[in-house]
Each structure stands twice: as structure tokens, then as C-alpha cells.
Amino acid sequence: MLPIADRWFEIKHISDDITLLYEPHVVPLMRCNIWHVRGRDRDLMIDTGMGIASLHDAARHLLDKEVTAVATHTHDDHIGGHHEFDHILVHELEAGNLEAPAGRGTLLASVIGADAVRKYALVGYPFDGDLITALPHADYDMASYYVHPAKATEIVVEGDIVDLGDRQFEVLHLPGHSPGSIGLWEAATGTLFSGDAIYDGPLLDEIGGADIPTYIRTMKRLRDLPVRVVHAGHDPSFGRNRLIQLIDAYLKKRA
């Protein structure tokens, strides 16, 4: 029997305008970073976690104006809460998967299967048991979990601008981890929200939808970006030196 969590989301204020939310009771493989970015006219919620508990409720104190829920890509751990938001942004190549997810998703290791569990352990994501280590409330039924569909209201491609009034993010199409992976790049501050294109942990380039030659091109592109800070889809944020290290390690392994 799993313990009951006091609260489902942890919340960390990174700066005046950026807040990190995450789900500590989800195993690292599926524990994504959820970034709330405050703008003058509109805020962003970049990714939304697993959808096990309400992100909208947990973040209510942050949601004082229009907010766009961005999908950096449509893996289960990044889109679980999108259905709770009115305005939803995704790359054109993954809008279909957001609206009609390819699988229903699961929290159960028995459904994931021993082979897949072993593969994840080999690439650096061991987990022992199911995908959560606590329940959101006492009568939560893990088997009832599914990924809620969400219909995009804004479909983007490379070069589109996401305008918050006082800050502008450029959409970078960063495929490789998934076909429609995007980053949001704020040139004025050198800030990149990278999704799963790059993070400071084991990268996944052999899962369904991933493509190594494409990933290599994305890495080379990111290497040339004048980044000051990367807020990624998983793991801690990092600066340009670490970005170059991560890219070079990837290129050494794969290129």
C-alpha cells in the first residue's frame, strides 16, 4: 500500500517571473518540469505533468490572467493537465497526438511490461514498482489513470512568436526526441525552455517517434545558440557551459 501524499505538486520560485512545479511522487522517468512564466498580458504554463491531480488547482495562486498551456511535445508526462486549460499551444506535428493520444497511458509497471522496464533501467531510469510512489488521495485507483485528450487552440511551427506583452519567445522546432518537440527561446535574456530536446539527464533517443540523425541536427543547432540559461523538461536548469558539455557528450556517442 502506497502512502498518501500531503500535496501532489511541489512549487519552487525560480525568479520573479518563473516558477517550477513538479510531481515528487512520480518516478524520475516521468517527472517532468512544469514551468509557469509570468508575462504582462499573458502567462505560460510550459508542460503540465502527468494529469494525476489537478495542476490548475495547485497553481491557482499563480493563475491571475490568461494563460497558455504549452506542450513542448506530447509524451504522457508533459500533457496530462492540458485539458484543464482553455488556451493550448502545440507544434503542428503533434497536435493530432494531443487531441487523440496514441496510447491511453498507464501508471502500472505490469502494463508497461518487464522488457520496457528493463530498457528504461539500462538507459538510466531504473524504477522499482509502478510509476508513482504515493497516492494523491486515499481512494485513488491507479488503474483508472489515462491521458486526457486536449484540443490545441494554437498550432505553431518554427519561427512563430509567443508574445506575452513584455516578453517574446520564439518557437524553435527541435525534433529528435519526438517529431514535434519545440523549445521556447527568449533572445533578449538568453533563456531557453527546451522541453526534452535537451536536459541534464539520460536523453531518450530510441523510443517511439525518436530519430537519432534528426536529434544530432538539433544538438548542433542548440550548440550555436547564445544561451544563458536552459530550463529543461527534466532535471535541474543549467547554463551554456553545461549545455555544450551535454551536446558534445551526445555527439561523441551518436555522431
Sites of contact with Zn ion (CB under 5 A): 32, 75, 77, 196, 233
Minimal distance in Å, beta carbon 122 to Zn ion?
Answer: 17
Minimal distance in Å, beta carbon 67 to Zn ion?
Answer: 21
- What are the backbone angles phi and psi of residue 233, rounded to the nearest 5°? -75, -20
Query: Which C-beta is closer to Zn ion: that of 1 or that of 100?
Result: 100
Query: Which C-beta is closer to Zn ion: that of 39 or that of 180?
Result: 180
Query: Which C-beta is closer to Zn ion: that of 63 or that of 123?
Result: 123
Query: Which C-beta is closer to Zn ion: that of 32 or that of 55?
Result: 32
Minimal distance in Å, beta carbon 78 to Zn ion?
Answer: 6
Minimal distance in Å, beta carbon 179 to Zn ion?
Answer: 11
Query: Which C-beta is closer to Zn ion: that of 35 or that of 39?
Result: 35
Half-sphere exposure of 191 (CA within 13 A, CB side): 14
Query: Which C-beta is closer to Zn ion: that of 77 or that of 84?
Result: 77
Distance CA 68, CA 119 (A): 35
Torsion angle of the four alpha carbons 226, 163, 71, 240, in this order, in degrees rounded to the nearest 10: 10
